[in-house]
Amino acid sequence: MRAQPEEVRDSIPDPLVQRAGDPADLLVRAAHLLDPVTGTDGAHDVEVRGGVIEKIGEAGSLDPGDTAEVIEADGLHLFPAFFDPHVHLRTPGQEYKEDIESGSRAAAAGGYGGILAMANTAPPVSDPADIEALRHSAGLEAVVPVGFLATLTRGMEGRELVDMSELRQAGAVGFTDDGLPVADASVLAKGLRYQRMCGGTIALHEEDPALSGAGVMNEGAVSTRLGVRGIPSVSESTMIARDTALAGYEGGAIQVQHLSAAESVEVIRRAKADGVDVHAEVTPHHLCLTDEAVTDLDPSRHKMNPPLRTESDRQALIEGLLDGTIDCIATDHAPHALQEKEVPFEEAAMGVTGLETAFSSLYTHLVVPGAVPLELLVGKLGSGGAAFGIEPFAIATGATANFCLADLSATWRVGEEGFESRSSNSWCAGDELTGRVLTTVANGQVAWRLRSFSLEVA
């Protein structure tokens, strides 16, 4: 991220907040440790004391001694905890869909050690007091550390900038009108220029509202067959072209959210080659599904914005992940209540949940078939904080424990045992997936245990 004046940086609080809890004391024995940050790939013992990784040794080398808990992890994988920069926690105002506690619990169940919450709540998070209140709540409720973005424009109305500097000092990690594009280019340009003073990467939902119109799915053969209004892929890519050009001109830092189209990947690739400070996200559902899935017109699984696109778009997204054009995987976890999804497709709310299934779905759809190496997947699930100056977690001696233990041979049916999220609009509800997170340690605390696994351990 760009250099900021020292005095501003010093006054900015820690980006992430979590509830108080007991630090973990445990010994994970003989797990296959795969850490793209440290470059570790092999069976190891990992000992955690007081929430800190005290020792890492060869498998079977560490003595449990008086360690409170021993996890026999032979045959299991230990990854650095994931980080999701794009989650909707729906608070304030829509706690019937999700809140900090339920959303962060869903994150823990997915192997996440930290998440960033979007600001398109009701009302939107536009005032420093909102950020302070949310951080206070997170300090009481958040199962894993949570950071909060503020809106870029007041009330997400797209006209006036929020008090960016004060919001930064209140703890806003960045700025975003996510859910809506910043339609007026001059507003974004001013925000990017103002960013020189206060920092705070601007995350952008890229869509030209005039091109998207009343569309609700990808424009193409499937929308034609179904008779459903389409959103053309250029609605996204033309806006990214505009905004990467603005970021280059202003010297600002942006995060382009949820890429969906092949053209968009190409625009990002060119912008990066031109030296623009841009990071790009992609969601699990755009990496795993195409608009053919929309044929069932099931809004609970298949209606979201940006929409699922074609197989060639999906392949371009995978290619962008492999060549580094796309920096991270972000779920765009977007919970909605049953009554908002149990309606005809065109009337339903946009968005699907993804925190609890991100790793498993991508392992099943990309790693098992050989499209993406496991190490790359783990790396891209962990690097989501980079644009906001949040380093990926590493499993290293002396570091705070942030890791998840996964069984790559486990198969499970999504939703069979319910969801940790308050909402059930998972894009892979009912699917059988391979690979499952068993335990998550976040910021030195045990944040999650799969019930059947913890029984086994007990």
Partner 1 sequence: MKDLISISDLSRDEVEAILERDDSFVEVSEREIKKVPALRGKTVVTLFYESSTRTSSSFELAAKRLSADVVSVKASGSAVDKGESLKDTVETLSAYGPAAIVLRHPSAGAARLLSQWVDASVINAGDGMSQHPSQALLDVYTLRSRVGSLEGLKIWIVGDVLHSRVARSNIQAFGLMGAEVTVAGPPTLIPLDVEELGCRVEYSLDGMEEADVVYLLRMQNERMEGNFVPSLREYARLFQLNEQRLGPRQLVMHPGPVNRGVEIAPSVIDCEQSLIADQVAAGLVVRMAIFYELLVGGDTVRTGPEPVPTIGEPA
Tell me which residues are annotated as active site.
332
CB of 342 to partner 1, least distance (A): 6
Q: Which two tokens stand for residue 180?
A: 């809506």
Which one, 105 or 309, has the nearer CB to partner 1? 309
Which one, 107 or 294, has the nearer CB to partner 1? 294
Q: Which residue in this structure is represented by tokens 């536009």? A: 126
Contacts of 295 (CB under 8 A, 6+ apart): 222, 225, 226
Which one, 323 or 347, has the nearer CB to partner 1? 347
Distance CA 190, CA 184 (A): 10
Which one, 123 or 213, has the nearer CB to partner 1? 213
Largest CA distance in the chain: 66
Which one, 227 or 275, has the nearer CB to partner 1? 227
Distance CA 28, CA 416 (A): 28
CB of 299 to partner 1, least distance (A): 9
CB of 213 to partner 1, least distance (A): 6
CB of 284 to partner 1, least distance (A): 25
Residues that bind partner 1 (CB under 8 A): 213-214, 219-221, 223-230, 297, 339, 342-347
Contacts of 379 (CB under 8 A, 6+ apart): 36, 37, 392
For residues 348 and 367, is the Cβ–Cβ distance under 8 A?
no
Distance CA 392, CA 378 (A): 11
Orientation angle between helical segments 262-273 and 234-250, nearest 10 degrees: 10
Contacts of 163 (CB under 8 A, 6+ apart): 127, 128
Q: What is the DSSP string of 321-341?
A: HHHTSS-EE---B----HHHH
CB of 347 to partner 1, least distance (A): 5
